[in-house]
Structure 1
């Protein structure tokens, strides 16, 4: 049932090695399913149209390359090659024309600013117009072919609908009557389904969503409304997101919802398409590359500082100078986190169960200085190089506290969808030490939902600013 999906108190326990294997299998399937035939054909049609247009106006090779890069780049940034439910050439035409006009204006400005001769400028402008004349009819044919394949060949995504109320039942009926939208419903997930749901040729499931996605090989999850009082729709969205499914959400007040960049249409129903998981985007590989580069450079540059800090700890309280502690990382995998020891070693090791050492007599002057300046965190650069952590991400916590906080705070477990970090959005908003766990979870989940490389840069800059201001106080 829906209410059984990863309840807060048992989320960590239910995601062990078997869960990680499940995530891996679905992730591989997801990569293959993302090769969308209509999107590939649209790219191919535009490439051929650019080549034909450049040949028709006899543009030289350099001008043809600039023409192709500008047109395809602008059209890609306008999301003309996106996955979509509604294969409508007329619906897409304004966006297509606008992107072509933008490319026309950009190429004209570049030609004027670089002092191109009038003949070359005219040839490039003519090529853009020829591209539109050649490309638009071809795009119309691609959309028609895509609809035909969905209707006749069953080229549809296997879809699970979460919520078997009136809206969910209507959505499934619409999918069955109109396969040209590319969704083939295979199951409902709802603890209190509407009676009409039983009359539809789809399963009513009595299992958690994650298992259903794997068993039914579903590629899309639609989140509709349920009559169940405790319907954890957000948990369902995160579960689908985490397993790599395309996630579509029926918005509240959908009758008044206007179209927008992330809105799909299933006949009269608007569906909000949630962005794919950050770790599945190409930009995430850029993030990982930057993590390795920056951590390696920082570790090499700061080795003398780390050595001095270690020497100060050694003089104040002896060995060991490096403190190792088990923390929980991405997908609940435990790892050893490294820090410069700031607390004197006692008779009892309470590091896994004691929340804060604020006011602890075991923290000497050196330890207080290291903690105040965050110099004790520098060995975590090694964790970043190893792949245990990232420079920016939710801060890692100890297993006992992960279990405790997951049982108390909504969606605390969902922080582990991405690697943990040396710094994070919660920390630059003052949530360090003994502060609100609920606020931290909200900031961390906001970070994951809105992740971008620019957001990481902002957090790093804010962290540097906070460290500088803290030293001045």
Structure 2
């Protein structure tokens, strides 16, 4: 049974963490104190005192690792979230370590100082070694599961879109190690198959399967029409002690990752989780936007100055071009660009897409559109609060009205500020590309926002986002 394997793995994991943390501490001591690779900052204590600190460090750090969910199964745990938890545990550990050791130096170390540089070296080395250890374990387990070992045996209750979605994902990720025995369902005939997974019978056979004691997990994937059986099925699973998960069949109605809040004991499901509706997240993102826009204006000011001169001297009309776009909360704003076309009738311009070899585009305009230099005046839009460094790209009112009728959930993108760059853009969905795919990427960004995700997109923009092959 997988639960027995998980217990053994967790014990091994704890032992490895003890070894890795102690090794990181010893390596930091050798680099800073013994080897004197980094000049000392007053750490003159004897080695015995430094290593006695491990009596405090090891149990506290193990508690922190457990508190930050570093011993949960790694089947579908994201590497990014695991690394973030490693960093959080080490930050808290460093704070506790510093507080205890420096606060007690008068009574224990007779006013001698622990080396600050050694503490910082331990902090950095421990994060790197723990991440390397977990990556090695992850790769080893995925290799085992791909070859059929360390499997989690599951049974699906209910044939539905949720069941098909689960089977699709398990089939695409054999390294997760899920072995699906089959499906129990009251409305489908026994023997019906989906991607090799058979309907084994009706749900009243559930107790027989549970009595065999070969299952690690039950996935309840009932269709909406069968939710009346949910209470009875859950009660049977709970009675057997088998771990049970509920995969709701509402993807077409609530196509997102909802989240739940407790209203004095009453669970309330929010249809869409938008992290940027929180005051702290919104304030943090706005601060990054202001600093980033000012930095961008300073760094790219020579490029912007040369572009302005070229636009002015090679064609008639203003240097900047302002176009109405739809922003956060469906409010219109004027988005600025360097003018890349000949001056034209505003009414005609608003209704036309740019086409390949469009005669309206000037020679300079073709270059600045291809390299995204024409977008640089939007740093001013960011400072004014109309836009963000990262977010869904804004569209013209005419096309917003068109797309909101044709594309499901299109208007959700207006719950956040539009961006100078975005997740869709760094994945290649710019210019004349699939609007549907663009919206899928925009919604993923909105629901999974983090400040780290923003920095990742900005980093990718440097390598993927500036040159636009779909710009005409």
Measured against the shorter chain, the TM-score band is 0.3 to 0.5
| Relative contact order, higher structure (CA 8 A, sep 6+) | 1
TM-score (norm 2): 0.47
Select the structure of larger CA radius of gyration. Answer: 2
TM-score (norm 1): 0.47
